[in-house]
Structure 1
Amino acid sequence: MKNYINRFYLLKISAVVFVLLAFSSCKKEYKDPNAALSDEVLSSQRGLTGVAVGLQRLYIVGAVASRAGVYYNSVTANGFVTNEIRLLNSGNIPELQLSTGGNSVDGTNTILGNLWAASNKIVFDADNVINNAANLPDKGYASGLIAYASIFKAMAIGNMSQYWEKVPSGIGQNVSFITRVEGFTKAIAVIDNALAVVAATPISSSFSPNVPSGIDITNTLYAIKARYALFKGDYPLALAAANSVDLTKRSFFNFDSNTLNPLYEIITSTNNVYQPTNANLGLTGSNIPDAADKRVPFYTTGTGATMAGFGVATATPIPVYLPGEIMLIKAEVYARQAVPDPVNALIELNKVVTKQPAADPFGVGAGLPPEIGPLAPANILPLIYKHRCIELYLSGLKLEDMRRFGQPNTDRKRNFFPYPFVERDNNPNTPADPAF
């Protein structure tokens, strides 16, 4: 792990040093880049802000291109193995491997390698921000840095925990591994620390103008806490976190002509990589969307052959989470908790089923008649799964859902992913690859 972290870090150093030199050029101060890294980047408010802003870029775009970031590789790997998307060009070898599935997916796959490397790089950089921000004199600004960096650290750990049976316990040479459930627990601990910091010292109003607009920090921390608590089966924690999310607020990644929406840049604008499987979003049987479901024309165009939704244009924002996800988390928790509450489970499910596009902050709405109860949890859970597949289409969450809802292995092309050779070749503690 250490070798590829260092390679990614050199790219980040160059970018940050360039910014620092640009800011200080009027003073004609020329400093050793290594000194700038230690003395300015990790000990100054400006330097740590630069590293924090870089976390979002690493998550969305990667170090050098959109195909290197966590987001594209997450939704792509997930999309192929869960049949959400179809391959257009078999010359795209990494995508072809995932589209084929099974043993065709191995440690050479660059989509998985980029997802793994970028996630670990984010954890490395986020640790630098979190650990050093505490030393800043402006505690309100430091609170913002810690909370913002924690979002990306938690999502990086969470993404790895969704796709691999075991994940690194930390960053370093010959690092050990922990189970994926322990990975979710670790991500939640990162979030809890951030929430405690913000509760003790509210984020200064001077912080938000210095980071990309769009992310609602507190709501995002609660939303991803609810997500990972659900994934690890801690239902009381998931419900408490979900109830803390203000569903009227938006939290999203912003794009412009300099930083393009990766779904548009790679998929929509080229029409040469992949597209939706069909107008049913790849779903079959009882999971096929209702004919009147307004989410299908939101996510696809025409006969479902091309992508719309959050990849429709260069500057289309991508949500960090959808309000519908939080509603469905509540519904699932009520259905699965120790003493099931099918009445409230159905209420939360119907909030998604009946939601009109105009009532959703991102325009995602089914606009269907409500499901009629009473329904037992065994009848509600399949409906929750169906609506998660549609509401959260191409969000990178479906593989986790398929396992949690007990969908048969034959309905997906992988269950967990093999470990990238970039890890195996550098770390003797890398676990054995899963059989499927």
Structure 2
Amino acid sequence: MKKIIKIVALGIFMMHISACDKVFLDPNSTLEPDLVGNTPNLIRLINGVQQRWSTDRSGILYTKTHLSGLNTGELRLLNPGNGAENEILLGGNNINGGNDILKNIWTNAMLTRKEATTVITLADSDGVDASTANSLKAYSLFYRALAHGTLVEFFESIPLEIIDNASFVDRVAVLQNAIADLQEAQGYISSGLSSEVTSGVFSSVDLGNSVNALLARFNLMAGNYDAAITAANAVDLSVQSVWEFDAAVPNPLAFWFESQNVTQARDLTFGLPDDLLPDTDDERIPFYITAEDFTVPNPDFQIVGFYVDDLDDIPVYLPGEMLLIKAEAYARNNDLVNAVTELNNVLTKTSATDAFGLGANLPAYAGALTQQAILDEIYKNRRVELYLTGAALEDSRRFGRPGPTEADAERNRNFYPYPNDERDNNTNTPANPST
């Protein structure tokens, strides 16, 4: 998003990006835009959805990072006066449905899927040709799947229908729905996207590769291991797909990490237990975390990586995630030879060979050739490679790490309470999870 200035036009709030000549409808506007048969406005709404997802302290990038990072020990809280973050850090019964971070991730994800669904529904309006309609749907299906799949990393169930008092469905059904959306988008992409659409949407997100990346991620979460491997193999690891920022719309994590008033890196452990600590020679450690003086008793650890400057891009997915998805899927299929091969592709990867300059540069795996030992090593590398991507809580549960009611707990909650706003407006909201 380049050089964004707010203007009012067409009776609705819009934004104009002068450097790349893109405009988007502000999805926070309560005014009803003219969308039926209006391809330019449908494109603008897609851009507004991306803006909602990737910016501000209330957006998904910030909220998912802090829900996961404070829960699993990736982050420390600098100022307990930040009450919502402090509740997430304390976990357990200290957090309830009134927490602002829960409210923000829920509200913005639900609005993301609502706006995306609006585009999907109206794409086939009169006056929109089939190629353009399918291209509009491809982008919108991606964002709807992203919203649904992300929410079930933090909540046990969510409603899929956009109606009053919608019923909640469990994680299995939500993931199936997200995968179906992505498969539909994949079909439209394979048929070729309309230049009218691709020239109008923000170009920093590579749609084809990002759809395959989400298919790999959500199939792994769903236990569809062969499908996860197939999707991960389809991702071009040399291509960057990123959320892009500028001075007017800054990187929301860098902005708040720089403030030194909310959160920072907890330490150099990445939230891992003593028996799974990163290798001290792992070059991903200084990529993500630094300190002015490592020799003092309690160094002031600071986050770097993709969060140094307000203008830094944030990856939609990392190449290493695709390699680790394949490693885990092979390991869970008990194909240990291929699991180690993919694991070694991460361990031996150097900064020069990674699209984002992220490399461990370590020796190949030399541990036991057992499923559990290999899975432990994969888990350790996911926690380091995917630091602050919001994946840590989902990973901790999936790998069966000690939960909040167990000895040596590695997370302070399994799932989060539903926001009060949802409960107040939807009589079908389930009881909150106990842990």
Residues 395-436 of structure 1, C-alpha deviations (whole Å, 9 max, x = no match): 001111111100001111111000000101111100001111
Residues 5-61 of structure 1, C-alpha deviations (whole Å, 9 max, x = no match): xxxxxx99999724499xxxxxxxxxxxx9x946x3242011101110011111112
Residues 82-123 of structure 1, C-alpha deviations (whole Å, 9 max, x = no match): 110000001000000001111001001000110000000011
Partner amino acid for 1:79? G
3-state SS of paired residue (2:105): helix
Question: What is the deviation of 1:147?
Answer: 1.6
- Asked if 2 retains the 8 angstrom alpha-carbon contact of 1:144 and 1:204, the reply is yes
3-state SS of paired residue (2:89): helix
- Asked if 2 retains the 8 angstrom alpha-carbon contact of 1:123 and 1:153, the reply is yes
- Asked if 2 retains the 8 angstrom alpha-carbon contact of 1:13 and 1:37, the reply is no
CA distance in structure 1 between the partners assigned to 2:169 and 2:7 by the alignment: 28
CA distance in structure 2 between the partners assigned to 1:249 and 1:412 by the alignment: 33
- Asked if 2 retains the 8 angstrom alpha-carbon contact of 1:161 and 1:181, the reply is no
- Asked if 2 retains the 8 angstrom alpha-carbon contact of 1:16 and 1:50, the reply is no
Residue 301 (structure 1) aligns with: 290
Residue 84 (structure 1) aligns with: 74
Residue 3 (structure 1) aligns with: none
Question: What is the deviation of 1:213?
Answer: 2.3
Say if 1:13 and 1:193 are closer, same or farther in 2 by CA, change over 3 A.
Answer: farther
- Asked if 2 retains the 8 angstrom alpha-carbon contact of 1:80 and 1:98, the reply is yes
- Asked if 1 retains the 8 angstrom alpha-carbon contact of 2:157 and 2:169, the reply is yes
Residue 119 (structure 1) aligns with: 109
- Asked if 2 retains the 8 angstrom alpha-carbon contact of 1:276 and 1:282, the reply is no
3-state SS of paired residue (1:279): coil
- Asked if 2 retains the 8 angstrom alpha-carbon contact of 1:327 and 1:349, the reply is yes
CA distance in structure 1 between the partners assigned to 2:46 and 2:355 by the alignment: 26
Say if 1:171 and 1:12 are closer, same or farther in 2 by CA, change over 3 A.
Answer: farther
Question: What is the deviation of 1:146?
Answer: 1.5
CA distance in structure 2 between the partners assigned to 1:19 and 1:348 by the alignment: 45
Partner amino acid for 1:17? I
- The partner residue of 1:244 within 221, 231, 234 is 234
Deviates more, 1:219-228 or 1:149-158: 149-158
Residue 53 (structure 1) aligns with: 47
Residue 428 of structure 2 corresponds to residue 433 of structure 1: no
- The partner residue of 2:275 within 286, 310, 314 is 286
Residue 349 of structure 2 corresponds to residue 350 of structure 1: no
Tell me the C-alpha RMSD between the 2 structures.
Answer: 2.2
Say if 1:239 and 1:279 are closer, same or farther in 2 by CA, change over 3 A.
Answer: same
Partner amino acid for 2:309? A
Say if 1:301 and 1:96 are closer, same or farther in 2 by CA, change over 3 A.
Answer: same
Deviates more, 1:133-142 or 1:385-394: 133-142
Residue 312 of structure 2 corresponds to residue 316 of structure 1: yes
Number of residue pairs the alignment of both structures matches: 405
Gaps of 5+ in 2: 1-5, 17-28, 295-299, 404-408
- Asked if 1 retains the 8 angstrom alpha-carbon contact of 2:7 and 2:14, the reply is no
- The partner residue of 1:391 within 369, 372, 385 is 385
Gaps of 5+ in 1: 1-10, 22-33
Residue 184 (structure 1) aligns with: 175
Question: What is the deviation of 1:148?
Answer: 1.5
3-state SS of paired residue (1:71): helix
3-state SS of paired residue (2:286): helix
Question: What is the deviation of 1:205?
Answer: 2.9
Residue 224 of structure 2 corresponds to residue 234 of structure 1: yes
Residue 141 of structure 2 corresponds to residue 141 of structure 1: no
Say if 1:13 and 1:182 are closer, same or farther in 2 by CA, change over 3 A.
Answer: farther
Residues 256-286 of structure 1, C-alpha deviations (whole Å, 9 max, x = no match): 1121000111222x11000011022222212
- Asked if 2 retains the 8 angstrom alpha-carbon contact of 1:342 and 1:376, the reply is yes
Residue 166 of structure 2 corresponds to residue 170 of structure 1: no
Residue 414 (structure 1) aligns with: 413
Residue 7 (structure 1) aligns with: none
Aligned 1:265-276 pairs, distance under 5 A: 265-268=255-258, 270-276=259-265
Deviates more, 1:381-390 or 1:244-253: 244-253
